Amino acid sequence: MAIQLKFSLPEKLYIKDPQTTKYGNKLLGNSVLLIDELGFEGFTFKKLAAKIDSTETSIYRYFENKHLLLLFLNCWYWEWLNYLIEVETKNLPSPQVRLERAIHLIVNAHHEFTLTAYVDEVILHKVVVMEGTKSYHIHSVDNENKDGLFVCYKELVERVAAIIELVQPDFEYPRGLSSTLFEMANHQLYFARHLPRLTDLKRKDDLKVELEKMLLIFAKKMLI
């Protein structure tokens, strides 16, 4: 039996925590599938309700609106990745190796680890790459930030920034490099898939290998 991970996500993200109920699990799993299928703009609670044989009303008992659901999915992903980076880098010998491992996980975690029984992490990753930035590019950022809705991403970025600081204590931009690695991982992948002239990565089987190599080179050169 697999371990079920339940994350403590910011309370204001949801009305009722979907991780705690069967219905909630179904809601989450299917929302990932449906957002992937329709795109976030085409996705509605009504369509999700139809997909899980339920009603809009019931979904509104979990989330105030679809934006917060998207942010929930992102936070979830960030928490999971943060947890993985923590346990997977803990006992590694040097900061350099830990950074390498972290970069490997940023690119590959969704293929190598399981989040839960009810969410397809490969598709969740697709959604994060495709729709992720929309979860924090919103008019109400400042208010939502006050409510702590972005701590998950901050902590994730800070975890890798901490490793970067160990690699090179006098480096001026540990957070900037860390957030850039996360953003690059998503954008370069997105570009390779959809707007290939914006990247040098080629869309083939080993795209992930190439991406990891690219991020590694960027990080290494920055920390020379």
Partner DNA sequence: TAAAAATGATAGCAATACTATTATTTGGAA
Partner DNA sequence: TTCCAAATAATAGTATTGCTATCATTTTTA
Region binding a copy of itself by CB under 8 A among candidate stretches 8-16, 104-112, 118-126, 213-221 = 213-221
Q: Which of 115, 134, 135, 112 is nearest to 124 (CA)?
A: 115
Q: Which of the residues 136 through 195 are near a copy of itself (CB under 8 A)?
A: 136-142, 145, 150, 153-154, 157-158, 172-176, 179-180, 183-184, 187-188, 190-191, 194-195
Give me the least distance between CB of 155 and DNA, in Å please: 27
User: Is residue 132 classed as helix, strand or coil in its secondary structure?
Assistant: helix
Q: Which lies closer to a copy of itself via its Cβ, residue 24 or residue 81?
A: 81
Residue pair 85/102 in contact (Cβ under 8 Å)? The answer is yes
Contacted entry of DNA, a copy of itself, none for residue 166, CB cut-off 5 to 8 Å set by kind:
none
Q: Which lies closer to a copy of itself via its Cβ, residue 79 or residue 131?
A: 131
Q: Does 200 engage in binding with a copy of itself (CB under 8 A)?
A: yes
Give me the least distance between CB of 208 and a copy of itself, in Å please: 15
Q: What's the CA gap between 41 and 66, in Å, rounded?
A: 10
Give me the least distance between CB of 75 and a copy of itself, in Å please: 14
In angstroms, the Cα distances linking 77 to 2, 11, 115, 154, 217 are 18, 16, 8, 13, 25
Contacted entry of DNA, a copy of itself, none for residue 76, CB cut-off 5 to 8 Å set by kind:
none
Supply the DSSP string of 149-212, one letter for each residue: TTHHHHHHHHHHHHHHHHH-TT-S-HHHHHHHHHHHHHHHHHHHHH-GGG-S---STTHHHHHH
Q: What's the CA gap between 106 and 194, in Å, rounded?
A: 20
Give me the least distance between CB of 31 and a copy of itself, in Å please: 15
State which of residues 96, 134, 168, 207 lies at the interface with a copy of itself (CB under 8 A): 134
